[in-house]
Structure 1
Amino acid sequence: MKEIKPEEVAKKVKSDEDVSVIDVREDEEVAEGKIPGATHIPLGELPDRLDEIDQSKEHIMVCRSGGRSGKAYQLLDEKGYKVRNMSGGMLEWKDDVEK
């Protein structure tokens, strides 16, 4: 599994890099704050919402601690998407959040 550190994701977001962050947590978790600009697709809805994910871009998967985003990574990886998993999840995110 390809991973990326939260600090690296923060740099990409802050430098306005064209980065796709997909948060697979549940609604109530995301309501507490998500990475600015992240797309929210709960893990359970991911298989039915693949058409919303651009296959030509790389996507960074995020959840609370890294477990669910790891499952999302596997699902997308098997379908041919370019993905990375943010290690440690939002528990390790030290930057700004969007509510």
Structure 2
Amino acid sequence: MKNMSTNELEEILQQEKTIQLIDVRETDEYAVGHIKQAKNLPLSELSERTDELDAGRPLHVICLSGGRSMNASTYLEQAGFDVTNVDGGMMSWEGDVTK
């Protein structure tokens, strides 16, 4: 599994506005503040909603601190996705957030 820092993610987001980024925190956590381009797909719903993701495009996964996103990334990688886990999660994110 690939990993990247939140700083690396921010650089990618500045260059490419259409990356496939999922936030696997629960809906209430996501509502408090999230990265604008992130789609909320809670880890608790991931196995039922995997078909909402584009398997033909790289996927970046973030959560609060990096634990849930690592679990989600492992699952998605086993399902055939090209996945990158965002280390440190939203606790390390220094960019803008949307509510």
Normalised by the size of structure 1, how large is the TM-score?
A: 0.95
The answer on 1:74 being equivalent to 2:74 is yes
Equivalent runs, 1:1-99 vs 2, <5 Å: 1-99=1-99
Alpha-carbon shift at residue 44 of structure 1 (Å): 0.8
Q: Are 1:20 and 1:58, in contact at CA under 8 Å, matched by a contact in 2?
A: yes
Distance 2:3 2:36 in 1: 19
Normalised by the size of structure 2, how large is the TM-score?
A: 0.95
Which shifted more, 22-31 or 12-21? 12-21
Between the aligned residues of both structures, percent identity stands at: 39
Stretches of structure 1 that go unaligned for 5 or more consecutive residues are none
Deviations 1:37-76 (A, max 9, x none): 1110000100001110000011111000000000100110
Stretches of structure 2 that go unaligned for 5 or more consecutive residues are none
Alignment size in residue pairs = 99
Superposed CA RMSD = 1.0
